[in-house]
């Protein structure tokens, strides 16, 4: 369905529209206008503005007027929470209004057991009355309406019925969509946002399925809220947005970074260009079926040490390119290998392995699909049990202790593309411990990966699969964005079990490996470093969030076992902290509340003391660790 937003259209085959949001005080007309202009000049095609109260709603008229006088006619969107009257005022003045079903015109939260069917429907009727007048105003002024669900701010009645789940998010949106359809209002956009990439993807897929089932497929806006900044913010956003764009879902996007909002635009532009390229290569759901709406990973052969997902990286001499060693190192120059790191697993070309390493159980041969049957049926059974050099342990993270790897029991890896994998699937039925390195040189690799992995899942193959993606770029951000978008679909759905990024450009290998680790963490498969859930800042933010996030990171970056949220205000802050262990949330001008999980434990403390209080709360709960010294 095509929807008009001012002078642009979205949906029904229209191109994907890029948007952003101001972080200036809405009553500072000059600052807001100037930031809008910077965003439009950078490539934003729609800008959203915080609208907390009637005064801010009325000032949208001044902002819009000045922009028009200066030659900027792109649409504006008012971001409204809680107050229906504010939304109605804004709808008369700008081209689009966003409302949040979780807090729009709902009553006071009740205990879960109080939401009987009668109470549930009574509150729905109140919502119907509140939204009816808004829709009449939107219809009169040609204003579009975004039904923007946030994972962290579902209404109490939806939480009572569906829980804090993708289903609850989708039903929250569908309730409002149905009410709009009853009023014959169709100028709608829908969004499902969460800081948890997996939940954002599942909820969006689910609401699209529900809209299709009811014959009302409205345009969808995509974004990962509270994605953070820097490397992790870009990876998390690209993983979520890219996964859905790869499936043909998404009509507008926003990359939410805790940075100057202008920095969001190049990331969004890169994702849109990727989506345009993928579109010409076909849609993966045509062969692989639709993506999952709950996490049900493909069953695989377990690994010792409880390693859930693997990182493979290149190494010329067998040493790790970064402080946290990858699980497997691929020997790019096997003849340069001097010493094996204890407990480290290695890969090398099967021919070099046959010449140099048949006696070493820690080094796996990487066998091309065309040689696999001969290697497994003829070569491996003829080999004796390997012996290890003095002092070199036989065990590794990928071999079982006390079981010598002899003959066909040796750990081996298969290098295959989706096309070359299919003919040898029957052989893999009897070799579940073989590690599969799946590579694609297609313009749409995630589609090829999904197709091959779905076939493996249907065949009940339990082999672990590493996604191998190859690039040639000198731009680290470009690598992060594209690799995240192309690897995430299979990882988010639990179809693949690891990642191997290779790059022929000048980017440092440590940076490439860090991106691979960040992708696995964004897809919720493994944790390598402290995870920060941070909002992108808006007119509601009560402190300099970029500066605060930087300071929080300085003091807590070594706490890799924790998730820490830094949130600008109480509107979405406590909810969008998701599963954060600790939270730093703006409570008022110059005031901060510290959270342990969802519970506030230090309320309204002065901002200058807040980081020290956060550290103290972490210590009191036994989660603090001192910064390790180099070499420890």
pLDDT over 70 for what percent of the chain?
90
Straight-line distance from the first to the last Cα atom of the chain, in angstroms, rounded to the nearest whole number: 58
Cα–Cα nearest to 446, from 298, 198, 313, 274: 274
- pLDDT averaged over the chain? 89
From residue 598, how far is each of 103, 106, 552, 610 by CA, in Å? 18, 22, 19, 17
Per-residue pLDDT of 529-549, as tens digits, reads: 888 888 776 656 666 788 888
Identify the residue with better confidence: 79 or 280: 79
β-bridge mates for residue 10, sequence order? 3
CB 225, CB 238: distance < 8 Å = no
CB 54, CB 93: distance < 8 Å = no
Identify the residue with better confidence: 353 or 76: 76
Structure tokens at 147: 């039904």
Question: If phi over 0 gives left and psi between -120 and 50 gives alpha, with beta otherwise, what is residue 6?
Answer: left
pLDDT-derived band at 61, boundaries 50, 70, 90: very high
β-bridge mates for residue 532, sequence order? 564
Cα–Cα nearest to 270, from 236, 242, 232, 251: 242
CB 330, CB 363: distance < 8 Å = no
Per-residue pLDDT of 98-125, as tens digits, reads: 999 988 867 788 999 999 999 999 999 9
pLDDT of residue 81: 86
pLDDT of residue 390: 37
Measured distance CA(82)–CA(117) in Å, rounded = 24
Lowest pLDDT segment from 221-235, 562-576, 600-614: 562-576
Identify the residue with better confidence: 227 or 136: 136
- Cβ atoms within 10 Å, residue 620: 11
Per-residue pLDDT of 488-530, as tens digits, reads: 999 999 999 999 999 999 999 999 999 999 999 999 999 998 8
Average of pLDDT values for 424-448?
A: 92
Structure tokens at 616: 């103290």
Identify the residue with better confidence: 565 or 632: 565
Identify the residue with better confidence: 549 or 394: 549
3-state secondary structure of 468: strand
Per-residue pLDDT of 307-338, as tens digits, reads: 789 999 999 888 888 888 899 999 998 877 76
What is the reported pTM?
A: 0.91
pLDDT of residue 385: 63
For 407, phi and psi rounded to 5 degrees?
A: 50, -130
Measured distance CA(528)–CA(126) in Å, rounded = 47
Task: Please give the DSSP secondary-structure letter assigned to residue 216.
Answer: -
Measured distance CA(274)–CA(252) in Å, rounded = 14
pLDDT of residue 575: 67
Measured distance CA(623)–CA(307) in Å, rounded = 22
For 569, phi and psi rounded to 5 degrees?
A: -155, 180
Average of pLDDT values for 199-228?
A: 96
Average of pLDDT values for 48-55?
A: 96
Lowest pLDDT segment from 111-115, 339-343, 352-356, 389-393: 389-393
Measured distance CA(392)–CA(356) in Å, rounded = 16
The yes-or-no answer to whether 3-281 and 304-522 have a common fold is: yes
Identify the residue with better confidence: 62 or 383: 62
pLDDT of residue 18: 98
| CATH tag, 3-281 | 3.20.20.20
Average of pLDDT values for 564-569?
A: 84
Structure tokens at 237: 């956003």
| CATH tag, 304-522 | 3.20.20
pLDDT-derived band at 620, boundaries 50, 70, 90: very high
Say yes or no: domain 531-620 is CATH 3.30.413.10.
Answer: yes
Average of pLDDT values for 191-195?
A: 95
Question: If phi over 0 gives left and psi between -120 and 50 gives alpha, with beta otherwise, what is residue 11?
Answer: left
Lowest pLDDT segment from 367-376, 447-456, 538-547, 586-595: 538-547
Average of pLDDT values for 264-276?
A: 97
CB 446, CB 487: distance < 8 Å = yes
Task: Please give the DSSP secondary-structure letter assigned to residue 375.
Answer: I
pLDDT of residue 542: 61
Task: Please give the DSSP secondary-structure letter assigned to residue 189.
Answer: E
pLDDT of residue 522: 96
Domain coordinates in residue numbering, the chain = 3-281, 304-522, 531-620
Whether the per-residue pLDDT at 463 is higher than 70: the answer is yes
Average of pLDDT values for 436-464?
A: 93
Rg (CA), the chain: 26
| Paired sense of beta strands 591-596 and 599-606, if any | antiparallel
DSSP 5-34: ETTEEESTTPPPEEEEE--S-TT-HHHHHH
Q: Is 384 exposed, middle or buried (0-12, 13-18, 19+ CB in 10 A)?
A: exposed
Number of H helices, E strands in the chain: 21, 23
Residues in contact with 463: Cβ distance below 8 Å, sequence separation at least 6, in sequence order: 300, 301, 428, 431, 432, 433, 434, 435, 436, 456
């Amino acid at each position: 369905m095509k929807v008009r937003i001012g002078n642009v259209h979205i949906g029904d085959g229209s191109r994907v529209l890029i948007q952003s949001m101001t972080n200036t005080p809405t009553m500072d007309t000059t600052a807001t206008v100037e930031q809008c202009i910077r965003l439009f000049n950078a490539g934003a095609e729609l800008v959203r503005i915080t609208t907390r109260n009637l005064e801010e709603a009325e000032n949208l008229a001044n902002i819009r007027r000045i922009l028009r006088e200066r030659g900027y006619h792109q649409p504006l969107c008012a971001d409204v929470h809680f107050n229906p009257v504010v939304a109605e005022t804004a709808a008369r003045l700008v081209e689009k209004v966003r409302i949040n079903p979780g807090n729009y015109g709902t009553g006071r939260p009740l205990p879960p057991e109080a939401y009987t069917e009668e109470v549930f429907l009574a509150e729905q009727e109140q919502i119907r009355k509140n939204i009816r007048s808004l829709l009449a105003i939107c219809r009169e002024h040609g204003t579009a309406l975004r039904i923007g669900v946030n994972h962290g701010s579902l209404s109490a009645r939806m939480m009572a019925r569906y829980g804090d789940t993708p289903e609850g998010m989708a039903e929250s949106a569908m309730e409002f969509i149905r009410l709009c359809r009853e009023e014959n209002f169709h100028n709608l956009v829908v969004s499902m946002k969460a800081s948890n990439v997996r939940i954002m993807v599942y909820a969006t897929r689910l609401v699209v399925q529900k809209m299709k089932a009811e014959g009302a497929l409205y345009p969808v806006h995509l974004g990962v809220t509270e994605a953070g900044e820097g490397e992790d913010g870009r990876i998390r956003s690209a993983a979520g947005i890219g996964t859905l764009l790869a499936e043909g879902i998404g009509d507008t996007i926003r990359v939410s970074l805790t940075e100057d909002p202008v920095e969001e635009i190049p990331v969004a532009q890169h994702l849109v260009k990727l989506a345009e390229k993928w579109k010409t290569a076909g849609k993966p759901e045509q062969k692989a079926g639709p993506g999952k709406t709950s996490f049900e990973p493909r069953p695989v052969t377990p690994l010792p040490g409880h390693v859930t997902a693997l990182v493979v990286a290149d190494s010329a001499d067998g040493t790790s390119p970064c402080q946290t060693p990858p699980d497997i190192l691929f020997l790019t120059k096997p003849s340069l290998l001097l010493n094996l790191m204890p407990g480290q697993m290695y890969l090398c070309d099967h021919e070099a392995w046959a010449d140099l390493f048949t006696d070493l159980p820690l080094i796996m041969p990487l066998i091309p699909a065309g040689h696999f049957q001969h290697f497994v049926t003829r070569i491996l059974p003829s080999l004796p049990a390997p012996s290890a050099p003095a002092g070199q342990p036989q065990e590794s993270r990928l071999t079982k202790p006390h079981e010598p790897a002899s003959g066909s029991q040796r750990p081996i890896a298969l290098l295959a593309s989706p096309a070359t994998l299919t003919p040898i699937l029957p052989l893999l039925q009897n070799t579940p411990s073989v590690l599969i390195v799946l590579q694609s040189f297609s313009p749409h690799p995630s589609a090829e990966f999904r197709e091959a992995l779905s076939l493996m899942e249907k065949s009940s193959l339990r082999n672990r699969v590493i996604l191998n993606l190859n690039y040639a770029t000198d731009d680290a951000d470009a690598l992060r964005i594209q690799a995240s978008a192309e690897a995430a679909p299979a990882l988010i759905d639990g179809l693949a079990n690891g990642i191997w990024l290779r790059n022929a450009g000048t980017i440092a290998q440590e940076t490439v490996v860090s991106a691979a680790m960040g992708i696995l963490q964004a897809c919720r498969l493994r944790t390598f470093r402290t995870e920060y859930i941070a909002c992108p800042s808006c007119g509601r933010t009560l402190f300099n969030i970029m500066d605060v996030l930087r300071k929080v990171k300085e003091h807590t970056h070594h706490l890799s076992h924790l998730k820490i949220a830094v949130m600008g205000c109480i509107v979405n802050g406590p909810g969008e902290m998701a599963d954060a262990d600790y939270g730093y949330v703006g409570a008022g001008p110059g005031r901060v509340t510290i959270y342990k999980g969802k519970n506030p434990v230090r309320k309204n403390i002065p901002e200058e003391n807040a980081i020290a209080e956060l550290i103290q709360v972490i210590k009191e709960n036994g989660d603090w660790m001192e910064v390790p010294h180099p070499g420890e």
